[in-house]
Amino acid sequence: MFDPVTAAILRTAPALPELDPETLPETLTARYAQLVARRLRRAEGEEATEEDDAWPLARIADAYELVTSIHDDTDVRRAAAFVAGTAQQILAQESLTTDEAGQLPILDRDRVAPALAASLLFLAAEQLADANEATQRIRISSGQQDYVATLLAESTRDLAAGRLASILERADRRPEHFIARGGLEARGTAALFETLLVGVELFAAEVLGRAAPDKAAGRFDSAHVAFARVLELSNDTYQSSDPAVGALLTSYPGPRHLAALLIAAYAATAQAATTKIEPPPGVDVEFWRSWLRHRAATAPFMWRNHREAVEKGFHLNGTSAVMVLPTGAGKTTVSCLKIASVLGSGKTVIFIAPTHALVEQLTTDLQQVFPEELLGSIVSSDFDRLFATGTNLCLAPFFSTSDLVVD
């Protein structure tokens, strides 16, 4: 069920009693097979059986999510979050049919849907592609929950998918205050969800390097503070002054669970924001900041290998480097940082690719990454324009076995 790379990540998770990380890929595959068999039996009208197992999927998800929340080691938290996310994603496949039938809301006082939990856990694991894929299984039905819960679910889904600009656009459209249906408990749930919504909006603004939306500005010092406040309030004990009443326990499992997931995602990704890359020496600071904000609209987070390249100074002017990465691992993304560094120094870039077809593809891609209307740069595959006024980035074919050359 798992490719070798994914299986290797799963095996890095910490060991738990009666659960060996070395066998986690096989364990999760077996649990998935059990869920599929159970769904088939149910579709055929047979009674579902309960497998007698010490580590069902829900327990694996809960245990490793707890490790994600409390462990001090970043690598352990990342691996635990990936295991928990994988377990939740498998659970989401079983619950999808039930959720689409409208029987369960995606967010309420007592639960967070597995698909939503999986997307945030993958974000906490810094597996951005998996987080984006997990969002495809999120089904939001506004008729089954309060309006604030629907908005929160939509914004959380956009957060995991990297569509942070959509979160801020939604923040501008949403009402400033929400009216909750029902009694005191329903109003308490809505208030907690509204606080989490503000936190997600602050998170998006921070990552994109923008000002906080008007309806969220000034509410909390940071997104983390908002999430932590919900974590505190959703499970607390109050001592009444009336002896007849005694201690009062407030418990809101759904908001508390989502707050813990958002805290884990924030801790793992806030510092990975594209907009937080410092301008290289000799680069125009305003140009650099402007381009990073533009780039963050489509690529808000830097992958771990991207950040490693930045830490090693790959993108600095005057630094020569050879980068070898598999297809889809982000070579072009890191190359764009190098190009931006050169353009920000007032120089011209020649980008050489091995085939005419790749030149045309990259020309289209780079015209979106370096738009003329934003930066004043011209991206062209016409080599004769290299010496024309205003041409800053020229692409040309270079027939060799080289994958990519940037100069």
**pLDDT at residue 244, as a whole number:** 65
Summarize pLDDT for 230-254 with one digit per residue, the tens: 999 998 766 666 676 566 667 899 9
The pLDDT-based confidence of 349 (bands split at 50, 70, 90) is confident
pTM above 0.75, yes or no: yes
Element (H, E) at 157: helix 147-161
pLDDT at 403: 40
What's the rounded mean pLDDT across residues 223-233?
Answer: 95
Does an H or E element contain 396, and which?
strand 391-397
Please state, in angstroms and rounded to a whole number, the distance separating the CA atoms of residues 399 and 404. 11
**Amino acid 140: pLDDT:** 84
Q: For tokens 């924001």, what's the residue?
A: 273
* pLDDT tens sequence across 372-393: 877 676 777 665 455 555 556 6
With contact defined as beta carbons under 8 Å apart, do 126 and 304 qualify? yes
Which tokens in the block code for residue 114?
Answer: 């597995």
Q: What is the pLDDT of residue 96?
A: 63
Per-residue model confidence (pLDDT) at position 2 = 82
* Domain-wise residue ranges, the chain: 4-272, 274-406
The residue that leads in pLDDT, 140 or 266, is: 266
**What does the mean pLDDT of the chain come to?**
83
- Least confident piece of the model among 94-108, 169-183, 338-352: 94-108
pLDDT band (50, 70, 90) for residue 324: confident
pLDDT given for residue 407 in this prediction: 41
pLDDT for position 406: 43
30 Cβ contact partners less than 8 Å away, ≥ 6 residues apart: none
Is the pLDDT at 402 greater than 50? The verdict is no
**Cβ pair 166, 308 in contact under 8 A:** no
Tokens in use for 19? Answer: 């659960």
